[in-house]
Amino acid sequence: MSEIELKDNADQPILDVPAIKTFTDHHSAPHGYKRWLFSTNHKDIGSLYLWFSLTMFFIGGAMAMIIRAELFQPGLQLIEPNFFNQMTTSHGLIMVFGAVMPAFVGLANWMLPLMIGAPDMALPRMNNWSFWILPFAFSLLLLSLFTEGGGPNFGWTFYPPLSTQFSPDSTAMFVFSVHLMGISSIMGAINVIVTILNMRAPGMTLMKMPMFVWTWLITAFLLIAVMPVLAGAVTMILTDKYFGTSFFDAAGGGDPVLFQHIFWFFGHPEVYIMILPSFGIISAIIPTFARKQLFGYHSMVYATASIAILSFTVWAHHMFTVGLPLAAELFFMYCTMLISVPTGVKIFNWVSTLWRGSITFEVPMLFSLAFIVLFTIGGFSGLMLAITPADFQYHDTYFVVAHFHYVLVTGAVFSIMAAAYYWLPKWTGYMFNENLGKWHFWCSLISVNILFFPMHFLGLAGMPRRIPDYALQFADINKIVSIGGFMFGLSQLIFVAVVIMAVRGGKKAPAKPWEGAEGLEWTVPSPAPYHTFDTPPEVK
């Protein structure tokens, strides 16, 4: 941390007096478990979300380790195919709904009020509820693995009839668990929108909001638009399986492909829900460590909005082999290709921000730079997948697995890591161990590429996804991938160590630990007091 110079004014927050209040002089001061269970404080709830997300990241990660161990060599060694399918399904569901999404909601809870100068989220009681639904939702999902017949084994996309006529008895638990996750997400999204639209500090117009606030505002609208669609999809699965309806059963006049349209109408905006907040994080961190303003703030806002709107017109690119008419295949191919334009604008803007900056390489910056490069690689494979004739070869192979892990792990997860390192001093009041952080970064960077890059080769060479055993020509690369997987899994333990150490103590962090940082969150002391911005700051 020696290269960080503290400016004299960094320790002079706009409101030093009210901000330093302890929480005993404001309402009551619950301690112990009651503080967390009944909390309506955005910082406590943000922490709950983040710890929950980290726990799920390790549970989902453990499942990935089981998958990679089984795939270490050809043949069935450790687990049965049916259990393998339960692992791939649960891994997907837990990572998407349990790790990535709650992490972003946690970051939103912590940072949105601090960034817009609000005292808390607009709907604190609902905020508590949105969080506390999640442990129940995931307990239900995880418990289903221990029922007779096992947990969900039909893939996280749960295509019928596999998920209806042919699914285990525990499918109802899966359905209700997804319902709960959806309710939690919708409430979280409503809270974000109401907070951003109503509680900004005087003078903070929409076009003065930090990019993270903008991207979350747009994400929240996406959530409200598509989570009800997911709820509808799982409900139809429920009634098809248990109540004799035939939404997705041709024998009763239904259509299994209809499900895929509904699911991906949710599913494609969903992948942007998992990446737009990342764009906001990267747009905060890159200018800080380049010590230079974001190159094109306005175009970044417009690009984010364009991506969100286009995300509703590309869903069928997940379904090119399902037997769509030619016109539909062409339409969805063109729309999907078009999405690379606003995404490109973002990449170009970050690179231009770096250009002629004064760049330092603290841990959040390292993760952000890795994000730009590796997310772009995921973007390239995405563009290749958009090309329908080629997609016929890529579809449902490890090429797709490689693609979405590049955008979700080295994209979303790396940005979450970057955000955690960036704001950890603000949350804990202590600087984290920079050396360990760098170890975490370099181990993750190397192992994640050993893990996911060779998957491109596997897919191109013809290995389908979701298989517990494979032909001999795939053996060598699978071994490398598994080794990368174990390394990546172990590397994340360093992160836990860094976080726990930073929570327990260390070098005191100043209000603004990063020289080039901008924004209201750096005007309050570190750690951020329990209540901040009781009086709104003025934004000029």
Partner 1 sequence: MRLLKPIITINTLILGMVSTPLFAQQSAVNMTAGVTGISNTVYNLHMTILYICIAIAVIVFGIMFWSLYQHRKSKGAVAAKFHESTTVEIIWTAIPIVILIGMAIPSTQALILMEDTTEADITIQITGSQWKWHYRYFDHDLEFYSRSTTSQAEINNEIEKQPHYLKEVDNPLVLPINKKVRFLITADDVIHSWWVPAFAVKKDANPGFINEAWTKIDTPGTYRGQCAELCGKDHGFMPIVVTALEPEAFDGWLAQAQVTAKQQLQAEQQSLTQTMDMPTMMSLGEEVYNRTCTACHQASGQGIPGAFPALKNSPVALGDVNKHINIVLHGVPGTAMAAFAKQLTKKELAAVITYERNAWGNNTGDIVQPSQIDAALTGNNQ
Q: Which of residues 274-333 bind partner 1 (CB under 8 A)?
A: 290-299, 321-323, 326, 329-330, 333
Q: Is the dihedral of CA 392, 397, 402, 405 positive or negative?
A: positive
The residue count for the chain: 540
The residue type at 453: F
CB nearer partner 1, residue 74 or residue 506: 74
Residues 111-170, interacting with partner 1 (CB under 8 A)? 147-150, 153-155, 159, 161-162, 165-166, 168-170
Shortest separation between residue 170's beta carbon and partner 1, angstroms: 8
Shortest separation between residue 360's beta carbon and partner 1, angstroms: 5
Taking alpha carbons only, the member of 126, 125, 110 closest to residue 189 is: 126
Shortest separation between residue 119's beta carbon and partner 1, angstroms: 32
Catalytic, 261? Answer: no
Catalytic, 156? Answer: yes
* Cβ partners under 8 Å of residue 266, min gap 6: 226, 227, 229, 230, 233
Q: Which of 1, 7, 136, 355 binds partner 1 (CB under 8 A)?
A: 355
CB 342 within 8 A of CB 307: yes
Identified catalytic residue from 195, 343, 388, 397: 343
Q: Which stretch binds partner 1 (CB under 8 A): 13-21, 204-212, 221-229, 465-473?
A: 465-473
CB 532 within 8 A of CB 519: no
Structure-token match 């059963």, residue found = 249
Q: Which of 466, 480, 497, 530 binds partner 1 (CB under 8 A)?
A: 466
Catalytic, 317? Answer: yes
Catalytic, 47? Answer: no
Q: Is residue 527 reached through a cis peptide bond, with omega within 30 degrees of 0 on the bond before it?
A: yes
Q: Which of 59, 142, 229, 384 binds partner 1 (CB under 8 A)?
A: 384
Shortest separation between residue 228's beta carbon and partner 1, angstroms: 25
Site track 248-267 with partner 1 (rule: CB under 8 A), x = hit: -xxx---xxx----------
Shortest separation between residue 500's beta carbon and partner 1, angstroms: 30
Distance CA 389, CA 356 (A): 42
Distance CA 222, CA 101 (A): 13
Q: For 83, how many CA atoms within 13 A lie in the half-sphere containing its CB?
A: 12
Q: Which stretch binds partner 1 (CB under 8 A): 435-443, 457-465, 478-486, 524-532?
A: 457-465
The residue type at 501: M
Shortest separation between residue 79's beta carbon and partner 1, angstroms: 12
Site track 468-487 with partner 1 (rule: CB under 8 A), x = hit: xxxxxx--xx----------
**In degrees rounded to 5, what are phi and psi of residue 119?**
-75, -25
Catalytic, 184? Answer: yes
Number of residues that bind partner 1 (CB under 8 A): 100
Structure tokens at 402: 């490689």
Catalytic, 42? Answer: no
Q: Which of 389, 500, 504, 540 binds partner 1 (CB under 8 A)?
A: 389
Distance CA 8, CA 405 (A): 43
The residue type at 417: M
Structure tokens at 504: 């327990």
Catalytic, 283? Answer: yes
CB nearer partner 1, residue 291 or residue 507: 291
Distance CA 198, CA 122 (A): 8
Identified catalytic residue from 272, 315, 514, 522: 272
Q: Which stretch binds partner 1 (CB under 8 A): 17-25, 394-402, 434-442, 520-528?
A: 394-402
Shortest separation between residue 63's beta carbon and partner 1, angstroms: 16
Catalytic, 185? Answer: yes
Distance CA 452, CA 369 (A): 18
CB 228 within 8 A of CB 144: no
CB nearer partner 1, residue 42 or residue 395: 395
CB 45 within 8 A of CB 122: no
From its phi and psi, is residue 203 left (phi > 0), alpha (psi between -120 and 50) or beta? left
82 lies in the site for partner 1, by CB under 8 A: yes
Shortest separation between residue 329's beta carbon and partner 1, angstroms: 6
Q: Which of 232, 352, 434, 506 binds partner 1 (CB under 8 A)?
A: 352
Catalytic, 205? Answer: no
Taking alpha carbons only, the member of 489, 281, 271, 279 closest to residue 400 is: 271
Q: Which residues are catalytic?
A: 91, 120, 156, 184-185, 268, 270, 272, 283, 317-318, 343, 346, 465
